[in-house]
Amino acid sequence: MKLLNNKIIRWAAFFLVLIIAGLVVDNNYYLDILITVVFYACMASAWNIVGGYAGQVSVGHVAFLGLGAYTSTILFLKLNITPLIGIFAGGIMAMVLALLIGFLTIRLRGPFFTLSTIAIAEILLVLAVRFHGLTGGSEGLNIPYRPSVYNFVFKSYFTYYMMFILLMIAIVAVISYINKSRTGFYLRAVREDETAASSLGVDVLRSKLTALLVSAFFTGVGGALYAQYLLFIDPHTVFTVSFSTKVAALSIVGGIGTVIGPIVGSFILTPLEIFLRSQLGGTYQGLYLLIYGVIMVSVILIIPKGIYGALSDAIKRRRKQVKNELSA
């Protein structure tokens, strides 16, 4: 019992269960579902660093994903640089873009920051279609199926699954680290009351920028990994704003501004989406996104802290009650 109270052990147990689940299913269909769930959990967690912790709502996060995916894929296809390096190059490119966006727009008030992130994603979408010499235009780019470590293409889905789990471990670790660090403290202060925080000497812009950079890096890495998994990218999948809204929805539904929230969101909504898509197929195009929308609106109206936020509040209240009863 005491063992489970330790955060690190709880996380280790969680990831162990995930890995075992991957070993047990041993069936590409279910592994694909697991990979998708973990991928979206990664993306939602990364988004949450800036959207949840820093309170800067980005709906153009897909720009980082797309840039990461294109960077590693183009490096591999044109220069034959192994995606092993390309993935990190993708993350770094995403950070460079984030730095640019950050310098330009992070000081804007909420909605205007959001609008500029959308604008930037849309601009990249058009550019990716336009410069087809480099990007393959709207046909996209295919990564040839030649499994090898250098090509970063694998026969077994389980290998990919492990890659995404590793990414998720890295994200969770970094978020936990930030949470304990000065930046995390600043971010919480800024979220509580920006004016008060800045008058107390918190460097608001710097904290937000740090959050944006970290978030962009992981999103870029995730994009590059995802490209290696799909072996195909095109502008309309990796630069579409609806990807960003979906990722934001996962965080909100799970619980914004918490480490666990986005993961909870992805583990609930992603399987639901896959299920609905397979059940409904093409007959009701868009139904699952409609349901996403309905869930998102309902959560904001009914439990604005999200599922995890509401649950942990309830547990805290219950604990307090028990404590009070015991002491009385």
Partner 1 sequence: MLLQLIISGILLGGVYALTSMGLSLVFGVSKIVNFAHGDFVVIGMYSALSIFYVTGLVPYISWIIVIPISFGVGYLAYQLMKRTIGEDVNQIFITIGLSMIIQNLILMLYKSDYRAMKSLFDSSIKLGNVYISYESLLAFGIAVLVTIGFLWFLNKTDTGRAMRAVSQDKSAASLMGVKVEKISVLAFGLGISMAGLAGCLLLTMYAAYPTAGGVYNLLAWVIVVLGGLGQVGGALAAAFIIGICETLTGFYIGPDFRQVVYYLFFIAILIIKPQGLFSGIKLHKKVKDEVTE
Interface ranges with partner 1 (CB under 8 A): 55, 57, 59, 104-105, 108-112, 114-116, 118-120, 122-123, 126-127, 129-130, 241-242, 245, 248-249, 252, 284-287, 289-290, 292-294, 296-297, 300-301, 304
Q: Residue 266 CB, nearest distance to partner 1 (Å)?
A: 17
Q: Residue 105 CB, nearest distance to partner 1 (Å)?
A: 7
Q: Residue 250 CB, nearest distance to partner 1 (Å)?
A: 12
Return the number of the residue (275 or 284) whose C-beta is nearest partner 1: 284
Angle, CA 74 vertex, CA 73 and CA 76 arms, to 5°: 65
| 242's tokens | 């609806």
Q: Residue 277 CB, nearest distance to partner 1 (Å)?
A: 13
Identity of the amino acid at 20:
I
Q: Residue 232 CB, nearest distance to partner 1 (Å)?
A: 21
Q: Residue 276 CB, nearest distance to partner 1 (Å)?
A: 12
Angle, CA 105 vertex, CA 99 and CA 107 arms, to 5°: 110
Q: Residue 242 CB, nearest distance to partner 1 (Å)?
A: 8
Return the number of the residue (221 or 299) whose C-beta is nearest partner 1: 299
CA distances (Å), 218 to each of 17, 26, 155, 226, 238, in order?
23, 28, 25, 12, 15
Return the number of the residue (216 or 241) whose C-beta is nearest partner 1: 241
Return the number of the residue (107 or 206) whose C-beta is nearest partner 1: 107
Return the number of the residue (35 or 248) whose C-beta is nearest partner 1: 248
Return the number of the residue (93 or 120) whose C-beta is nearest partner 1: 120
Task: Give the β-pairing of 141-142 and 232-233.
Answer: antiparallel
Return the number of the residue (201 or 282) whose C-beta is nearest partner 1: 282
Tell whether the torsion through CA atoms of 196, 201, 207 and 208 is positive or negative.
positive
Return the number of the residue (42 or 121) whose C-beta is nearest partner 1: 121
List Cβ neighbours of 305 (8 Å cut-off, separation of 6 or more). 255, 256, 313
Q: Residue 143 CB, nearest distance to partner 1 (Å)?
A: 26
Across 277-309, b (16+ Cβ under 10 Å) vs e yields: eeeeeeeeeeebbeebeebbeebeeebebbbbb
